[in-house]
Amino acid sequence: MKTMMPLIYLLENGGKYNQYVKYGASLAGIPIGDVRAPLIGLSDAERSDFRKLYEDLKSQNIASWTN
């Protein structure tokens, strides 16, 4: 649980829950598209930061997708 706290904090306090979940799904190989208006997508910096967090969790076998 402690390892996932940065992700939980980002999702609950970042104000862009849907955007991060959709981007995370696409990183996991599940392309579900972008958010619809009036929401706006993630900036390049937000994508980069989230990708680093995702890759860190994935390297610890915490964030992974299996069929």
Residue-by-residue DSSP string for 13-40: HSS-HHHHHHHHHHHTT----PPPTTS-
Supply the DSSP symbol for 61: T
Q: What are the residues whose beta carbons fall under 8 Å from the beta carbon of 11, sequence distance 6 or more?
A: 17, 20, 21
Whether 29 maps to a domain, the answer reads yes
Please give the pLDDT value at position 64.
64
User: Mean pLDDT of residues grouped by 10 in the chain (67 residues)?
Assistant: 88 93 93 94 96 92 66
Q: Residue 53: give the domain boundaries.
A: 2-59
Name the domain count of the chain. Answer: 1
Please give the pLDDT value at position 65.
63
Whether 54 maps to a domain, the answer reads yes
Please give the pLDDT value at position 3.
86
Whether 6 maps to a domain, the answer reads yes
Whether 67 maps to a domain, the answer reads no
Please give the pLDDT value at position 5.
92
Please give the pLDDT value at position 23.
96
Whether 47 maps to a domain, the answer reads yes
